[in-house]
Amino acid sequence: MSKTLLKNGRIISPSDKLDMVGHILFENSVISSVEKDLPPEDKIDQVIDCSGCLIMPGAIDMRVQSADPGAEHLESLSELLAAAGNAGISQIVSLPATTPVIDSAVMIDSLRLRASSTHGALLHLYGAMTQSLNNQQMAELGMMAKAGAIGFANGVVSVQDSLLMRRIMIYSKMLDKPVIHHCSDAYLDKDTDMNESETATRLGLLGSPAIAETIMLERDLNLASITGCRYHAAHISTASSVEALRRAKKAGLSVTADTSPAYFLLNDKATADYNTAFKLNPPLRSEEDRLAIIDAIKDGTIDSITSDHHPIEMDKKMLPFGQATAGASGIETLLPLAFSLYHTNDISLTRIVTALSTAPASILSLETPKLASGETANISIINLSSSSVIRGTNFLSQSQITPFEHYLVDSKVVGCFVHGISVML
Amino acid sequence: MTRDTKIANDTPPPAAMLSNKHLLGIQGMPIPEINALLERAHFFADRPKTLFADVLANITVLNMFFENSTRTRVSFELAAKRLGASVLNISVNSSSVKKGETLIDTATTLNAMRPDILVARHHASGAPLLLSQHVDAAVINAGDGRHEHPTQALLDALTIKRSLGKIAGLKIAICGDIDNSRVARSNLYLLSALGADVRFVSPATLVSPYFSEMGVPVYTDMEQGISGCDIIMMLRLQTERMEGRETPSQHEYFHFFGLDTRKLQKAAPNAFIMHPGPMNRGVEIDSKIADDNSKSLIRTQVELGVATRMACLEAIAGASTRVRI
Q: A117-156 pLDDT, tens per residue? A: 999 999 999 999 999 999 999 999 999 999 999 999 998 9
Q: Could you tell me if B160 and B192 lie in one domain?
A: yes
Q: Distance from A218 to chain B by nearest Cα, in Å? A: 22
A181, containing H or E segment: strand A179-181
- The pLDDT assigned to A300 comes to 98
**β-bridge partners, A168:** none
Q: Do B248 and A138 touch (CB under 8 A)?
A: yes
Q: Do A143 and B251 touch (CB under 8 A)?
A: yes
Does residue B70 belong to any structural domain of this protein? yes
Nearest chain A Cα distance for residue B203, angstroms: 7
Task: Judge whether B174 and B188 are in contact, CB under 8 Å.
Answer: yes
Interface of A with B in 29-68 (CB under 8 A): none
Number of domains in chain B: 2
Residue A167 to residue B252, Cβ atoms within 8 A: no
DSSP A294-359: HHHHHHTSS-EE---B----GGGTSS-GGGSPP----TTTHHHHHHHHHHHH---HHHHHIIIIIH
Euclidean distance between CA atoms A172 and A151, whole angstroms: 8
| B97 and B25 both lie in a single domain | yes
User: In this structure, is residue A136 part of a structural domain?
Assistant: yes
Domain at A116, CATH number: 3.20.20.140
b/e map B298-307, b = 16+ CB within 10 Å: bebbbebbbb
- What pLDDT, on the 0 to 100 scale, is given for residue B109? 83
Q: What percent of chain B has pLDDT over 70?
A: 90
- The number of distinct structural domains making up chain A is 1
CA–CA dist B280, B274 (Å, integer): 13
A131 touches chain B (CB under 8 A): yes
Q: Convert the pLDDT of each residue in A30-60 to its tens digit.
A: 999 999 999 888 889 999 999 999 999 999 9
Give a yes or no: residue B30 inside a domain.
yes
Choosing among B210, B245, B257, which should be mutated to test the A contact, i.e. which has the most A CBs within 10 A? B245
**Burial letters A148-165, b for 16+ CB under 10 A, else e:** ebbbbbbbbbbbeeeebb
pLDDT of residue B5: 42
- Confidence at residue B2, expressed as pLDDT on a 0 to 100 scale: 42
Q: Where are the beta strands (DSSP E) in B82-165?
A: 86-91, 117-122, 138-144
Q: DSSP 3-state assignment of B307?
A: helix
What residues 218-237 of chain B have any CB closer than 8 A to a CB of chain A? 220
Are B290 and B167 in a shared domain? yes
B5 found inside a domain? no
Question: Looking at the domain assignment, is residue B133 inside a domain?
Answer: yes
**In this structure, are B127 and B19 located in the same domain?**
yes
Question: Given a cut of 50, is residue B283 above it in pLDDT?
Answer: yes
**Integer Cα distance of B18 and B29 in angstroms:** 9
Whether the CB-CB separation of B234 and B259 falls below 8 Å is answered with: yes
Among A103, A129, A137, A171, most B C-beta atoms within 10 A, so best to mutate, is A171
Question: What span, in angstroms and rounded, lies between the C-alpha atoms of A264 and B232?
Answer: 56
In this prediction, residue B107 carries a pLDDT of 82
CA pair distance B316, B138, nearest whole angstrom: 7
B244 touches chain A (CB under 8 A): yes
CB B148 within 8 A of CB B205: no
Q: Per-residue pLDDT tens for B161-174?
A: 999 999 999 999 99
Q: Using CB atoms, which residue from B220, B245, B256 is nearest to A138? A: B245
- Judged by DSSP in three states, B170 sits in coil
Regions of chain A where pLDDT drops below 50? none
- Is position B1 within any domain? no
| CB contact at 8 A, B200 and B178 | yes
**Partner residue facing B252 (CB), from A140, A164, A170:** A140
Burial A269-295 (b: 16+ CB within 10 A, else e): ebbeeeebbbbbbbbbbbeebbebbbb
Instruction: Give the ipTM of the model, two decimals please.
Output: 0.86
A315 is a catalytic site residue: no
Condensed to tens digits (0 to 9), the pLDDT of residues B204-251 reads: 999 999 999 999 999 999 999 999 999 999 999 876 666 557 899 889
Instruction: Express each pLDDT in B55-109 by its tens digit.
Output: 999 999 999 998 888 899 999 999 999 999 999 988 776 555 555 667 888 888 8
State the residue range of the domain holding A194. 57-363
* Chain A residue nearest residue B245, CA to CA: A137
Do B114 and B228 fall within a single domain? Answer: no
Contact A171 B252 (CB under 8 A): no
pTM here is 0.92
Q: In this structure, what CATH number is given to the domain that contains residue B207? A: 3.40.50.1370
Q: How far apart are CA A23 and CA B173, in angstroms?
A: 58
Give dist(CA B116, CA B103) in Å, integer. 18
Containing structural domain, residue B133: 11-148+303-324
Q: What is the pLDDT of residue A411?
A: 96
Distance of CA B103 to the CA centre of its chain: 23
B4 domain residue, yes or no = no
